[in-house]
Structure 1
């Protein structure tokens, strides 16, 4: 190939590369907001890495994205690209792992001074938590309680008076099996969990078609389905990993 032809080939290749579409950068997601600017930055709003976030005194905005879970407080202008990049892949994998039930005994309980105990897996059904509950796998569902001491029996039914299934926690266990043969779960199905020491919890299940590979995508999916309690669990788990 002559020198001129080589030059033309390189030039053509450069034009082809330049014409290829550029993949948009992943946007961070607002997962909590309070204060005067909460309406400007509502939960679910996506913010680019170079976008300016202008806050007023008394504002608190929590953003989940590739740079970690950031809590922005007080008056000022913030740019997410200025955040240090953290590796949260391990924490994300642990909190979203789809696995068989494991016996969690006394060692899983935190010190009482360390704050409230939260479920160690996003897909465990918290017996205390009413409202929407997102599920990734309807073929294997687990119930979770925040204590290990003592036996507890829960009734599961379409209402608080009729039980179609029962779930028993043995002494020392935080996890037990949801009997899907008696209480099958589909998208939109609603059940009342009654028993233990608390009031009945009405849960409406939302089934995810797929679990996003990144935390930002999952946060957006949880927000879309209304699974705000799980959004809090995800945000807290990733924040602790930083």
Structure 2
């Protein structure tokens, strides 16, 4: 099932444009996240610039100074080890990540882009608000998490040692803009989660990245960028 999803998503995205997914440095205003790049354009970077771009093959990190084409040469190898299905499929698939320096500091990485990381305050994008999965990076011990809503309603979610995933409590509905506070023993501080409901799973890497950027789902965008990173050989200046 996951491979079928991958093939359909990548095929549909084959003709899509390249977009900026992350930028920093002196030129960051010229290359904001979500900016579309024409194949004929050149990305001109100054010293200390870093821009991450994404197309149907994956993500590349470009570092200034230099001028870069958004198009990957067909002679350049691409990293097919981590596919669209690794991060978009409903079935979790463990694996290493590589490439872009992550904003996430946890040693563990979620195996599925739609799992909601309880260890990071963020806006969480979901495609089906009735089937939200919570994920914890540390599964070394039992844990009981208290989930509190803005209206004072609460629910608890329990993990046994070795478990990393649990369903979101059905008594606390997930909807567009809904915000919840999660706390548990040993946590340095409570986690705040705000939900953005996307509807059906976005098509292709570009569609997924654009949806995550638009809704401010930074933790999931970080995971997407890392998982589909292309080797550095494909990001040399022209």
TM-score, with structure 2 as normaliser: 0.79
Q: Does 2:182 match 1:193?
A: yes
The structure with the larger Rg is: 1
- Following superposition, the deviation at residue 162 of structure 1 comes to 4.5
Q: 1:212 & 1:197 partners in 2: Cα distance?
A: 36
Unaligned runs of 5+ in 1: 1-23
Q: Does 2:223 match 1:233?
A: yes
Contact 2:79 2:230 in 1 (8 A): no
- Following superposition, the deviation at residue 82 of structure 1 comes to 3.7
SS of the residue 1:81 aligns to: coil
Contact 2:44 2:66 in 1 (8 A): yes
* Residue from 169, 179, 187 that aligns with 2:159: 169
Q: Deviations over 1:143-163 (max 9, x none)?
A: 11111211010001115x945
Contact 2:153 2:172 in 1 (8 A): no
* Residue from 13, 34, 41 that aligns with 1:44: 34
User: What corresponds to 1:60 in structure 2?
Assistant: 50
User: What corresponds to 1:91 in structure 2?
Assistant: 83
Q: Given the superposition, is the C-alpha separation of residues 176 and 30 from structure 1 closer, same or farther in structure 2, using an over 3 Å criterion?
A: same
Aligned pair count reads 209
Q: Does 2:103 match 1:131?
A: no
SS of the residue 2:39 aligns to: coil
Q: 2:230 & 2:128 partners in 1: Cα distance?
A: 26
Contact 1:132 1:205 in 2 (8 A): yes
- Following superposition, the deviation at residue 240 of structure 1 comes to 6.9
- Following superposition, the deviation at residue 208 of structure 1 comes to 0.6
Unaligned runs of 5+ in 2: 1-13, 98-105, 233-238
Q: Given the superposition, is the C-alpha separation of residues 149 and 229 from structure 1 closer, same or farther in structure 2, using an over 3 Å criterion?
A: same
What CA RMSD, in Å, does the superposition of the two structures yield over aligned residues? Answer: 2.9
Q: Deviations over 1:75-122 (max 9, x none)?
A: 1110022443637596211211124xx7x9xx9899xxxx72111111
Q: Given the superposition, is the C-alpha separation of residues 240 and 78 from structure 1 closer, same or farther in structure 2, using an over 3 Å criterion?
A: closer
Q: Does 2:162 match 1:154?
A: no
Q: Given the superposition, is the C-alpha separation of residues 109 and 163 from structure 1 closer, same or farther in structure 2, using an over 3 Å criterion?
A: farther
Q: 2:227 & 2:96 partners in 1: Cα distance?
A: 16
Q: Deviations over 1:6-29 (max 9, x none)?
A: xxxxxxxxxxxxxxxxxx952111
Larger helix percent: 1
* Residue from 137, 141, 144 that aligns with 2:135: 144
